[in-house]
Amino acid sequence: MALKGLDSGEATRFPTFAGRTQTWGKVANQPSAWEVYGTNASYSSMGVSTSDPYTGTTHFRVACTHVSFLSAMRRSFGADFSETYLSFMFKFDSLQATPFFYLYTSSMTIVVRLNVDANGNLLVYAGSVPTLMATIPAGITGGQWYNIKLRVKSGTPGTLQVRFEDGAPVDCSGTNMLDWRYLLLGSPVIGSTFAANYDCIQVNDTTGSINNSWPTSPRIPTALRPTSDTALTDWIRNTGNNDYEAIDETSPDLDTTYLYSQVDEDESAFGLSDLSEPANAVIVGVVLTIVAKRADAANLTPLVIRGGSTAELAQVAVGSDYMTPIEVIMELDPITSAAWTQANLNATVFGFRNEQV
């Protein structure tokens, strides 16, 4: 499987956009793949916003309003990557000369850094001691969404190609590059002010037969959330009249409403809201996000059900708290083993089985 991640903040809408003073870490009681870093709550802000998304309902926003402070957020996609293709949308409130995007190793050594200068040029740096590899005359201005795509391959030297607004790849290779682990938005160093917005992040590697090269310009829609119960209702709700209402909140409310099971092989499944995209939309993958915790040793088996057929996906481990959402990526429809269609997605119910271990 080559698709390693899709993210616009839509799944949990955490962390909420706010000013913060903290070193790298997650925001308490806000389950998310993202960690944040800020040095002054009055000047350093980062998180998920609904103010001006490129598509869907949410986007990431990072802002720093004083040159003596910094503001950033980062996440991994579960591995160190030697070769990947990435795509993301970005927009500045107003043009400021600043770094705004990084790839880092697991020990926070720089692999790639992107800057914009006061003339709207895109500056591409690479290597553990960042070396300017290219100045791309991009004409970046404030208030406009743009797309950047990267091909990043570690090596001595590594390979780095950059596409701005789906233009021809600009070769920025020539310096040694390490495997990357963290994708970082904003800037973890002091010295600049900025307000930057990001959306529709996609990460591919080269391990599969699809999604193993340049992404198309992705659109991440509003998340599809539970809207109905099905005949599978083994799990028990702690309150309310319908099971789905215990897990349908826009952002997880943790121990306020939830479903629970203490019985091996209990199953529950739910109908979701429909996707409503143009008929010619291509679905590159579906990410099922599960926010769960365990009191004892237990896993979950995700279930994909349609038309009398059930696909059981690989078991996933459940942590002891809610803070790391489980992301189950399905490049292909597991029932047909073909690309997802909008009709099939809208006819599918999703669920899970308790697996005591």
- The domains found in the chain, sorted by start residue, are 3-205 (2.60.120.200), 226-356 (2.60.120)
Average pLDDT over every residue of 163-186: 98
pLDDT for res 328: 98
pLDDT for res 330: 98
Average pLDDT over every residue of 21-39: 98
pLDDT for res 297: 84
pLDDT tens track for 200-216: 999 999 999 999 999 99
Per-residue three-class SS string for the chain: CCEEEEECCCCCCCCECEECEEEEECCCCCCCCCEEEEECCCCEEEEEECCCCCCCCCEEEEEECCCCCCEEEEEEEEEEECEEEEEEEEEECCCCCEEEEEEECCCCCEEEEEEECCCCCEEEEECCCCEEEEEECCCCCCCCCEEEEEEEECECCCEEEEEECCCCCEECCCCCECCEEEEEEEECCCCCCEEEEEEEEEEEECCCCCCCCCCCCCCCCCCCCEEEEEEEECCEECCCCCCHHHCCCCCCCCCCCCEECCCCCCEEEEEECCCCCCCCCCCCCEEEEECCCCCCCEEEEEEEEECCEEEECCCEECCCCCCCCEEEEECEECCCCEECCHHHHHCCEEEEEEEEC
- pLDDT averaged over every residue in the chain: 97
pTM listed for this prediction: 0.97
pLDDT for res 240: 95
pLDDT for res 357: 84
pLDDT for res 141: 98
Residue 299 tokens read as: 């896993």
pLDDT band at 13 (very low <50, low <70, confident <90, very high): very high
Contact (CB, 8 A) for 112 and 196: no
pLDDT band at 1 (very low <50, low <70, confident <90, very high): confident
Residue 173 tokens read as: 């290779």
pLDDT for res 355: 96
Residue 184 tokens read as: 């970082």
The proportion of the chain whose per-residue pLDDT surpasses 90, expressed as a percent, equals 97
User: Is the predicted pLDDT of residue 308 greater than 90, yes or no?
Assistant: yes
